[in-house]
Amino acid sequence: MTRALLIIVVLLAASFLTLGRPLIRSDGLAYFMWLQSVARDHDLDLANQAAQFGELNSYQVFYNEATGEYATVFPYGSAFLYLPSYWLASAANRLPLLHINDPYFVQHQGAPFAYSFFLLLWTILCAL
């Protein structure tokens, strides 16, 4: 039983790593905005993120005229789940080894490669 479970975990990890794409996009951008707000800004105010991700933000965050604040329909809870991956990415982003085609990643996700890479690894770990 233990051997079968190990084989399943290895196969799942291999498939996730080979099929996973380390690029934050679509709904994931909204969750990344929350994560960045919590981890970097230490608040739940999305104004900074709305400015930073302006060109990428098509529906994820909007300005609510009734409250005078930025809002989103995406819940912020996952930001707390992903905090360790953001902290690891922030540390790893200082290493030249992880600056892989940063202009591409900044253009498409608003952050360097290390952030999406560690989010991908954390997601795989959580899925396993």
Per-residue pLDDT of the chain (128 residues; tens, 9 = 90+): 688 888 887 887 777 767 767 788 888 889 999 999 999 999 999 999 999 898 888 899 999 999 999 999 999 999 999 999 999 999 999 999 889 888 999 998 889 999 998 998 888 888 77
pLDDT given for residue 1 in this prediction: 67
The pTM is what? 0.79
The confidence score (pLDDT) of residue 47 equals: 93
Residue 71 pairs in a beta bridge with 62
- pLDDT score at 20: 66
Looking at residue 104, what DSSP letter applies? H
What are the CA-CA distances from residue 29 to residues 24, 35, 44, 126 (Å)? 6, 10, 15, 19
Strands, E, within 1-128: which ranges? Answer: 62-64, 69-71
pLDDT at 64: 94
